[in-house]
Chain A
Amino acid sequence: MSRLAWQLVSGALLSTAAVSVILLRSWGFAGALAIIYVIWGVGLVAGQHRSNLRPAVRWAARGVLLIYGIAIAIGLLSMCERLYFVNGDSYPSWLSNADLGVMARNEFYQRLGRKCEGRGGEFSDKGNDVMVFRCGSVFWIGSETYIAHLRKDQK
């Protein structure tokens, strides 16, 4: 990038942080932006040094890029899983922690409440009396996902 482009990008990043502090009247979002900027910066520097003549620098840069690649892949897979959890017509049992079997609807709500107590939970109705519920996080990583089959005569 040219010098002017670097200046414009730096100005835009600084402006975004400053405007967020004033509009939100909080340093919190600017702090999150600062962390994102540092992550971008480290990736940018690593990208520039991936063919460095010094082997130690070259391999360190490649290591950083590998970690970034893995993190991006995990992020994309998490998003795909999230979209499938919310919108899919079914949910694969191998992605879930357990298939809890057949139960009445009120028992389903009770078990959801017990398992997710204090951690937050959500459920997705897959139709055909299949319910999938998740506790702890909206993403697969850091959460527990269970499948339940509602008894047909107790809808």
Chain B
Amino acid sequence: MKRYILAAIRFSTLPLAMMLFSSGTAWFYQSREIDAQAYHNLSGAYDDANSQCQAAIRHAALAGQISRWDYAGLMRDILASSRILVFDTQNVRDVEYERTLLKEKLNAHN
């Protein structure tokens, strides 16, 4: 029995190491700030979002920046609660501008 367990551990070391490395890389990527398009999408979706989604956006923006991890959850909730979502790709500027725009919108609704 011990022989099989050792063989299984020896076999699974490399696959598990690959999984841990790729998970770490993905985790690092997801912890970074979202881009200007994503801030613009949140600004656009905020007005039509229900109160729970609006509260979630406000909560995510408390730290000053919104991470890709938070954005993935926010957009999933917004898409689930909205019938139509318009993604405007034409009027997007830089990250700083779009972040400020979202903050101004959140402050205006407070």
Contact = CB atoms under 8 A, between A and B. Distances in A.
Interface of A: 3-4, 6-8, 10-12, 14-15, 18-19, 22-26
Nearest to B29: A23
Interface of B: 11-12, 14-19, 21-23, 25-27, 29-30, 69, 72-73, 76
B15 A7 contact: yes
A27 to B, nearest CB: 12
Contact of A14 (B11, B19, B26): B19
21 contacts: A3-B11, A7-B14, A8-B14, A11-B14, A11-B15, A11-B17, A11-B19, A12-B18, A15-B21, A15-B23, A18-B22, A19-B23, A22-B26, A22-B30, A22-B69, A23-B26, A23-B30, A23-B72, A25-B30, A25-B72, A25-B76
A11 B29 CA distance: 20
A10 B15 contact: yes
Contacts of A11: 14-19
Contacts of A7: 11, 14-15
Given A8-B14, A11-B17, A25-B69, 16 more contacts: A8-B18, A10-B12, A10-B15, A11-B14, A11-B15, A14-B16, A14-B19, A15-B21, A15-B22, A15-B23, A18-B22, A19-B22, A19-B26, A22-B27, A23-B26, A23-B29
A119 B22 CA distance: 40
Contacts, number: 51
A18 B20 CA distance: 9
B23 A18 contact: yes
A25 B73 contact: yes
Nearest to B18: A11
A24 B23 contact: no
A59 B12 CA distance: 32
Contacts of B18: 8, 11-12, 14-15
B58 to A, nearest CB: 19
A14 B20 CA distance: 9
- Most A CB contacts (10 A, CB to CB) among B23, B27, B29 go to B23
